[in-house]
A and B are shown apart, each in its own frame.
Chain A
Amino acid sequence: MMEKLLLVDMDKCTGCKQCTLACSLIKEDLFDPQRGRIKVLKKEDIALGVQLVCEQCESFPCVASCPNGALSRDEATGIITVDEKKCTSQGACVDACIYHSIRLHPESRQPMFCDLCGGNPYCVKHCVPEALTWVDKSDEMEKKKKKLRSARMAMYRDLKKEET
């Protein structure tokens, strides 16, 4: 099977939160924006939505940050899994993530990671404006993914700067 990539385009995001709700539905059979593995940082005054989600990145500082060694990474897919027995909900991984994508589950208090729904991301089907797309992997698409991500991170930094 052809390898795939999740492209996340901030400029096409309307801030509707369908993706987050879809995630909470597929993972937990309910609707809760706080339980989405993908989240949308919404700035109402400038009508902005910035999507934040695990990028299955190459540096994975979250894994090293965990004092209990509760996180592990699948080498082939980059997907992070949590060892529930080891996790003590201190949130070191939340602070370590350079893409600001990790949140603790409101009930279990364990970090939530996008697992790309095993290769068929449910959120993508819900994103009609195509801010989320699931594309065939290529050098060009890898580049595009990084470019879109840089734009989101730059915006994220600007927003945080504004807050302080």
Chain B
Amino acid sequence: MNLTDGKIWTEDIPEEWKRLYVGSRGINARLLWDYCKDPDITWDDPRNIIIYAPGAVTGTTAPASGRTSVTTVGCTTGLYLKSNTGGHWGAELKYAGYDHLVVHGVAKEPSYILIEDDNVEIRNAKELWGKDIIETDALLKEWHGEDSRGLYIGPAGENLVRASSIHCSLYHAAGRGGGAAVMGKKKLKAISVRGTKPVRVKDPKKFAEVAQEMRENLRADSGAQGLHEFGTSGSISAVNEMHAFPGKNWQTGYTENVHPITGQALNEGGYLKRRVACFGCTIGCHRYSVIPSGPNKGLASGGPEYETFGALGNGPGIIDTEGVLILNEICNRLGLDTITAGTVSQWAIESYLRGAISLEDTDGLELDWGKLDEVKQTIEKMAFRDGKLGNLLGDGLKIATNKIGQDSYKWAIMNKKGLEQSNVETRSAKAYALAFAVNPRGNDHLMTETFAEFGSSPEAVELIEKLTGDKKWASSHFTEFRAEIVRWHEDCYEITEALGFCVFTSTAAFGVNPDNMARLYAAATGIELSEEEMMLTGRRVCTLEKAFNVTRGATREHDDLPWRLMNEGAASGPLKGETNSRAELDNALDQYYTLHEWDLETSWPYRKTLEKLELKDVADYLEKRGLLPKE
């Protein structure tokens, strides 16, 4: 649909795309390339599109297959942005009969989209604008029924804040990269969906068999069991023991008494009200937490996740269960990505302590580690761009470090692309380091993840052996074979998302894999792809995403890591003093680009590479713009 002129239409997905790109993230990448490859189309240009797409098998009993990819030109980096969310919204869109919702243009007035099967309308959102996530969801359900499912932005997205996140089903979010600001710019507040049509697959019997195999794998998997019992934050104690849990803006890796900010503390302290699943998920790692007593009794929200306990707990030094629950609840209400909100807050604290920003710049807030009330106010200011501090932080670290200058980039935990890093200690995890550096949307774990390199389960060790030839490489401090590990995980992660699976099923737990995904896809669609061909669709999409960034001027120098991690050693632990040094990263990048058959100097894909992946038209466009490297 086009918000500028109100036109609404449907198109069939070309059959060929289902073989080349499968679905969701893959087809989204193709759509974004087709509509927005011209680099004049910046994130805030009316020609930028935003695409919402559940997976190829969303809405079925394939376990944990209910996820949705959201793709656009990102506001935080100005580059390719895919963000992915759980919840129950994507399945509802599928039941309404749609695979991809493509939104063009900019509305004149605040608007929301209503989808009830074949009835699709663009409606006035005057009454929703300014409302927080909870209020917005309640109003949409009041108007369109308790069974409708909502996706929306909060005040942060309306205010074009870089840390804003797109929420759906209240507490689930396509959080990273400022997709919510793209919606804010389009004056698109929300999308309410109700679908009542069945989803059919080609061969139900075969499909059920493969889905059962996946389900039983996950049932038996220790990682999946841990995720159900303690949530994503159940791993914090173990990460902390590795001295790899970032604290005080990545100046520490170990926190003496970390227990209050772990999933175990949620269970033991009576905070965990319910274990919650996204649509069709047999793991159920999400939490719904409530403060059971005391002055904040009754405060409730979804989460907190590992990343939130990191970015808003250990990061700013809030080693306090209720403190993080309070900050998490504010972010869930205002529509903020807890990772970016936390990382930006930590940068502000350190900038103030170092004298790079003054008391005037903080609007009188005396920032320091461990001050809950100050962090709370910082986050609220950020969401509303309130005062000097709110305006500075609302733009994210990429812009804020330019404004403040001095050496403030040295403690800004982002790479050259400009997205704030998620809470993985890349100095002691070398495949993660490479994966973060080459991630097209900036440095985080949500375009690919290489959890297997820790070798923390027999399945992980077996996978590393398969990829490197020897199980001895299943340890995260090695620099050998990291490019091979990253590239395999890129492809696997991509097809996982294209089908709609949660990436935990294939890269954190081990129940879904390229082989059973290929068989499932064949049962669902009749499109027979071998395991290798399925993985190649992942490679194709990753290369297309890379090519998109090439049009925006991204080169090898954008594939780096935060200054602090490249230049300052880890503070303690077995890898004390370890960095992601330039030399180490360069070596990893050389290997990675070589594997991909990309040019070492520019990092750009060659024509022959693109043509091998059936992306000849992409090569032609890049050549026209002088962006093809010489072979």
- Contacts of B281 on A, CB cut-off 8 Å? 14, 16
- B284–A129 CB distance below 8 A: yes
In this assembly, does B126 line the interface, its C-beta being within 8 Å of a C-beta of chain A? no
In this assembly, does A118 line the interface, its C-beta being within 8 Å of a C-beta of chain B? no
Interface residues of B in 249-288 (CB under 8 A from A): 273-284, 286, 288
- Contacts of B288 on A, CB cut-off 8 Å? 46-47
- A30–B171 CB distance below 8 A: no
- A34–B63 CB distance below 8 A: no
**In angstroms, how far is the closest chain A Cβ from the Cβ of B470?**
34
* Of A17, A34, A35, A125, most B-chain CB atoms within 10 Å: A17
A11→B276 CA distance, assembly (Å): 11
In this assembly, does B215 line the interface, its C-beta being within 8 Å of a C-beta of chain A? yes
**A16 CB contact (under 8 Å) in B149, B170, B273, B277:** B277
**B61 CB contact (under 8 Å) in A18, A42, A45, A46:** A18
Chain A: number of interface residues, binned into ranges: 20 to 34
In this assembly, does A63 line the interface, its C-beta being within 8 Å of a C-beta of chain B? no
One of B101-109, B154-162, B198-206 contacting the partner: B198-206
- Contacts of A45 on B, CB cut-off 8 Å? 134, 137-138, 170
In this assembly, does B88 line the interface, its C-beta being within 8 Å of a C-beta of chain A? yes
**In angstroms, how far is the closest chain A Cβ from the Cβ of B426?**
32
In this assembly, does A29 line the interface, its C-beta being within 8 Å of a C-beta of chain B? yes
**Binary B-proximity of A33-57 (CB < 8 A = 1, otherwise 0):** 1110000001111111000000000
- Contacts of A32 on B, CB cut-off 8 Å? 95, 197-199
A130→B95 CA distance, assembly (Å): 26
In this assembly, does A151 line the interface, its C-beta being within 8 Å of a C-beta of chain B? no
A44→B200 CA distance, assembly (Å): 26
Chain B: number of interface residues, binned into ranges: 35 or more
In this assembly, does A117 line the interface, its C-beta being within 8 Å of a C-beta of chain B? no
- Contacts of A92 on B, CB cut-off 8 Å? none
Interface residues of B in 183-200 (CB under 8 A from A): 196-200
A31→B274 CA distance, assembly (Å): 26
- B88–A44 CB distance below 8 A: yes
A109→B218 CA distance, assembly (Å): 37
A125→B198 CA distance, assembly (Å): 22
Interface residues of B in 125-164 (CB under 8 A from A): 134, 137-138, 141, 146-147, 149
**In angstroms, how far is the closest chain B Cβ from the Cβ of A102?**
17
**In angstroms, how far is the closest chain A Cβ from the Cβ of B466?**
27
In this assembly, does B212 line the interface, its C-beta being within 8 Å of a C-beta of chain A? yes
- A47–B198 CB distance below 8 A: no
- A17–B284 CB distance below 8 A: no
- B208–A129 CB distance below 8 A: no
* Of A35, A47, A128, most B-chain CB atoms within 10 Å: A47
- A22–B61 CB distance below 8 A: yes
**B274 CB contact (under 8 Å) in A29, A34, A48, A128:** A48
- B278–A16 CB distance below 8 A: yes
Across the interface, name the chain B residue whose C-beta is closest to A43. B146
- B60–A31 CB distance below 8 A: yes
In this assembly, does B228 line the interface, its C-beta being within 8 Å of a C-beta of chain A? yes
A15→B274 CA distance, assembly (Å): 10
**Binary A-proximity of B581-594 (CB < 8 A = 1, otherwise 0):** 00000000000000
- Contacts of A106 on B, CB cut-off 8 Å? 196
In this assembly, does A71 line the interface, its C-beta being within 8 Å of a C-beta of chain B? no
- Contacts of B95 on A, CB cut-off 8 Å? 32-33
In this assembly, does A24 line the interface, its C-beta being within 8 Å of a C-beta of chain B? yes
- B275–A14 CB distance below 8 A: yes
In this assembly, does A79 line the interface, its C-beta being within 8 Å of a C-beta of chain B? no
- Contacts of B63 on A, CB cut-off 8 Å? 18, 128
Given contacts A45-B134, A45-B138, contact A128 B215 (CB under 8 A): yes
A32→B218 CA distance, assembly (Å): 23
A24→B196 CA distance, assembly (Å): 13
A82→B493 CA distance, assembly (Å): 47
- B215–A29 CB distance below 8 A: no
A42→B59 CA distance, assembly (Å): 16
In this assembly, does A93 line the interface, its C-beta being within 8 Å of a C-beta of chain B? no
- B59–A47 CB distance below 8 A: no
- Contacts of A21 on B, CB cut-off 8 Å? 59-61, 280
Across the interface, name the chain B residue whose C-beta is closest to A10. B274
- B134–A16 CB distance below 8 A: no
In this assembly, does B232 line the interface, its C-beta being within 8 Å of a C-beta of chain A? no
- Contacts of B218 on A, CB cut-off 8 Å? 128
Q: Could you list 5 further interchain pairs (A-B, Cβ under 8 angstroms) beyond the known A31-B59, A128-B219?
A: A15-B276, A24-B198, A30-B199, A35-B198, A128-B228
Offer 11 A-B interface pairs, CB within 8 angstroms, sorted by A: A14-B274, A14-B275, A16-B279, A16-B282, A24-B198, A30-B199, A44-B141, A47-B276, A47-B302, A106-B196, A129-B228
List the 4 closest A-B pairs by CB distance, nearest first. Answer: A14-B277, A14-B284, A47-B288, A16-B277
